[in-house]
Chain A
Amino acid sequence: MILTNHHLASRIQASFIEMNDAITLRKVVTNQSIRVENLDVFIEDQHILKDINLTIPEKSITCIIGPSGCGKSTFLKTLNRMHDESPEVKISGKVFVDDNNIYGPRVNVIDTRKKMGLLAQRPCPLPMSIFENVAYGPRIHGVKKRKVVNQTVIQYLQYVGLWDEVRDRIRTSATRLSIGQQQRLCLARGLAIEPEYILGDEATSALDPLSTKKIEELFVKLKAKYTVILVTHTLRQARRIADNIIFMYLGKIIESGPTEEFFNNPRKQLTRDYLSGSFS
């Protein structure tokens, strides 16, 4: 029994490494970065984001922190144009993704969103089987061949470490999974559309500590190939996994910088107050 398990594990390990290589080969991405210039966002008459200018370095984890209502989530939504659905949101400024302004004329919103894999606060599996959840993205983006779809699904389920847990019930409802498993499924689903960026909107705030740890480990693994941008409430999480920190307060960027520097030597008084817990 132990032998079989060990055998299985090593086989999975092998396929895992193989698959990682496959992804690296397939994704030849150059100049992945996000540059924001003079971004202002208004919701009705409220000025939510005020003159945001920043560059998000590629292939790293950038955490956006700040108290509730500071505009973190609003900012994240401007990156994949999810504000398009709300006519009361007015946006001015430029957001360059791979050197293309996504708010410029003649931009295909679908293509923009396809570049961004979004992981929401609460996992929201689609009303389909586990398999179809991951297969959905590739299918709507034109992957027809069953073999390719199957491979993609298995690859990404393995990538998020869910394959072994669900391989026997791949055709059952995604809702039967635990909430932590659902969140990993949502990550696999997002990865299956082959994005370049991963956006996480407090992606672990609904999860238990163990599931949180798994998702965090995945983020760290992901930064080898993707640019990861996370909004988080927990300073400790930011400190654990981020390479760079952006601190926002009342719609403005107060301070940003590499994690160590940010936490050890904050330059602004406001940052020091926030880090010491004077306000949250």
Chain B
Amino acid sequence: MSKLRYALYTGCTARESTPELLKSTLAVAEALDIELVLLDEATCCGASHLQDFDDFLSLVLNARNICYAEKMELPLVTICNTCQLNTSMTKERLDHDENLKAQVNEKLKEVGLEYKGTSEVKHFLYALIDDVGIDEIAKRVTKPLKNINMAAFYGCHNIRPSELQSQNNGGENPYNPTSIDDLILALGGQNVEYEHKNKCCGFHVELQAPNTANKLSASALTDAIDNNADAVVTPCPLCHLRLDVQQHNISKAAGREVHIPIFHLPQMIGLALGIEPEKLGINHHVTETDLV
């Protein structure tokens, strides 16, 4: 098999508030012999807010990001659910509307770019599952997650809207997603069944409606804890920022102490592959990851 190569769209948080996500993604890719080419030209995707202000501008900027993956003839992988949403939604809209595509390309032409629609857009989680395969990952496990009850928190934008994301996520059902649970089992851990695994953490209203955000996060984390989770794992850095950094506020909203380590998906995989916790950026968490 030839070496797997992807254009990595890091998004913004992996370069700023969740540096551990970029570290762990690169470390896991190296361990699994995947080549990730960083898309250093890419801008912010607008994080599902820019299009509320200026929908066309949001389309042009996201199309530009995809252009750079197309130029390298590589599939684009995301490591943030919301980047995944905005990038794949832009692709979907442009690929199904010649008129809109022409309007966007008219702008891109001014900077010498053209959106063609030739690069796939998928989240790293599903690139690993589809292209490497869970069995292959399981074979490389050297430090199984023995005796760890790991609760998968899927994050909205990898699974919804399913009409869009099911093209990129192996047909995961938004009401009963299983990919991360399967991965936890393959890594030797125990997955946790709980109702909130496919629910919203409230990140996108953290500034204007902190009470809403904290209550939603509280429901998710208390549900995981009450179902005996030792830790939570998420493929989304925005969910991670909410659930890891805000546990003091989440505790207030929950009316009880909420204390549980939150892992990024590649950190969990990396630990099972025997990568040093330090190399996975475990020291960057606000809530102690005392499991490791």
**Chain A partners chain B:** no
Residues of B that sit less than 8 Å from A by CB: none
